[in-house]
Structure 1
Amino acid sequence: MAPPTRRPPVRKTGSGKVGSGKTRAPALDPVSLHGLEEAYAPEEAGTFEGLHFDGQSFDGTDLQGSTFLECEFSSVTMTDTGLRGARFLECRSAGLYAPVFRAPRATFRDVVLEGSRLGSAELYDNGWNNVHVDGGKLDYVNLRSSRLTDVLFTGCTIEELDLDGVHATRMAFRDCRIGALNLSGAVFQDVDLRSTELRSITHLPGLQGATIDDGQLMLLAPLLAANLGLRVEG
């Protein structure tokens, strides 16, 4: 008698349905802060835990390498604040204002950013995990060479978003508007762009691994044809 045939294992998608193939949404954990102590903006780098900064100015302060743990920022300004290599862990910010926001090589983990108004945001080589950017207007966001996992943008206006060399997993944009999107060298897995207005895209192959809707596909058709060298004639 021939031995029984072994069936190959069935791979399940992130949605929990066998073979559904659906785009996995960001898995966000809530950020809950309690019992925070009112504090003034620090004058030098350090570790800051359990503090609430309300209406404080961080402008021009060198906080390179600082760690903010379980902190809340309400209507603060951070123009030219030195935040290279800083870590924001379990933090919430509402109404952040900075014409120039400098936080390269920073870490954002379990962070909520609400209603930010940023001019030039230097966020290259960042590590984001469980981050929700809700509302606000961002002129230029440089996330080059960053690793983004479980990231959600909702209701944002971003004039220029640079994702050159980004590795993104489970990232979604909902009801956002993006003027110019640079995807050179981007690597996407479960990135959801549906319901977001996209005006221009650099390096269309970077869309591989992203999900778009029917309307976006129609708007992108001329760009896709040009990228493939197709001539469309009526």
Structure 2
Amino acid sequence: MARTTESPAPPRVSPPDLPDRLEPAEPRRSADLLATSLELAGDADLAYASLEQCTVRADADAVDLTGATILDVALTGVRIASLKMRDAGIRRMRIIGGRIGTLDLSGARIDELELRDLRIDYLNLGGARATDVEVADCRIRTIDIPQAELTRVRFAATSSDEVDPRGMRATDVDLRGLDALSYLDANSLRGTTLTGFQVQQLAPVIAAGLGIQIKE
């Protein structure tokens, strides 16, 4: 598909639609939570729960949102060793400020997600289908996105040690604001936008993928 002058199209990310009043609630598996505020600690099991118009604060070891339905949810100032959202359905979610050890979004279906001002050790988007994602002012040690399908995803003022894009399918994915030390497979970056300097850094990886030997 030919790129237009507007490429890469920016993500269309809007803030969660939250009510003026929120009622406190306790986390539980398969809960149906509407217009609530959650304070999480220790191990919080919210697998297969439904969270709509909720705020979350957490100082927790593990938060399990596997298979959850997440609509208009904001997390602020979190400290979570493991945040699991495998196979979750996410629409308009914002995570701002804090520290997350492992953020597991593998297999998730994502529509509007903002990650901002976070330190993340390991971000897993393997097999996810993500549209309209903004990642800004983050330090992410390892980013795994194998077999992911990404549309309108942008990184800004973000750094990473290692990115694994193997098998990724990308449309309007803007990596110009991602300062990554290494990519495991440059051939999987089709559909992304990079700066000229980034392409120069990737030249040895691209050459190796093409079977080109570089010698001075």
TM-score (norm 2): 0.92
User: Where do 4+ consecutive residues of structure 1 move more than 6 Å?
Assistant: none
1:52 matches 2:37: yes
Q: Percent identity?
A: 24
Query: Given the superposition, is the C-alpha separation of residues 111 and 94 from structure 1 closer, same or farther in structure 2, using an over 3 Å criterion?
Result: same
Structure 2 residue identity aligned to 1:180: E
3-state DSSP of counterpart to 1:31:
coil
Give the deviation of 1:30 after TM superposition: 2.9
1:145 matches 2:127: yes
Report what 1:5 is aligned to.
Answer: none
1:109 matches 2:91: yes
**Is contact 2:25–2:36 with CA below 8 Å preserved after alignment?**
no
Distance 2:167 2:53 in 1: 34
**Is contact 1:35–1:50 with CA below 8 Å preserved after alignment?**
no
3-state DSSP of counterpart to 2:40:
coil
1:25 matches 2:10: yes
Give the deviation of 1:80 after TM superposition: 2.4
3-state DSSP of counterpart to 2:131:
strand
1:73 matches 2:56: yes
Give the deviation of 1:58 after TM superposition: 4.3
**Is contact 1:193–1:211 with CA below 8 Å preserved after alignment?**
yes
Report what 2:102 is aligned to.
Answer: 120
Q: Considering only aligned residues, what root-mean-square deviation do their CA atoms show, in Å?
A: 1.9
Distance 2:18 2:167 in 1: 37
Give the deviation of 1:12 after TM superposition: 10
The 5 Å alignment of 1:178-193 reads 178-193=160-175
Count of matched residue positions in the alignment of Structure 1 and Structure 2: 216
Which structure has greater strand proportion? 2
Query: Given the superposition, is the C-alpha separation of residues 29 and 182 from structure 1 closer, same or farther in structure 2, using an over 3 Å criterion?
Result: same
3-state DSSP of counterpart to 2:107:
coil
3-state DSSP of counterpart to 1:64:
coil
3-state DSSP of counterpart to 2:106:
coil
3-state DSSP of counterpart to 2:26:
coil
Structure 2 residue identity aligned to 1:68: L
Give the deviation of 1:43 after TM superposition: 3.9
Give the deviation of 1:86 after TM superposition: 0.8
Give the deviation of 1:102 after TM superposition: 1.9
Give the deviation of 1:136 after TM superposition: 0.7
**Is contact 2:22–2:54 with CA below 8 Å preserved after alignment?**
no
1:92 matches 2:74: yes
3-state DSSP of counterpart to 1:77:
strand
Distance 1:84 1:48 in 2: 15
More relative contact order, 1 or 2 (CA 8 Å, 6+ apart)? 2
The 5 Å alignment of 1:165-204 reads 165-204=147-186
Query: Given the superposition, is the C-alpha separation of residues 79 and 45 from structure 1 closer, same or farther in structure 2, using an over 3 Å criterion?
Result: farther
Give the deviation of 1:117 after TM superposition: 1.1
Structure 2 residue identity aligned to 1:119: G
Distance 1:46 1:40 in 2: 10
Query: Given the superposition, is the C-alpha separation of residues 42 and 156 from structure 1 closer, same or farther in structure 2, using an over 3 Å criterion?
Result: same
Structure showing greater radius of gyration is 1
Distance 2:172 2:209 in 1: 23
CA deviation digits over 1:15-67, x for unaligned, max 9? xxxx42521110112324232324143244311111123xx224323222101
3-state DSSP of counterpart to 2:51:
strand
**Is contact 2:186–2:202 with CA below 8 Å preserved after alignment?**
no
Give the deviation of 1:89 after TM superposition: 0.4
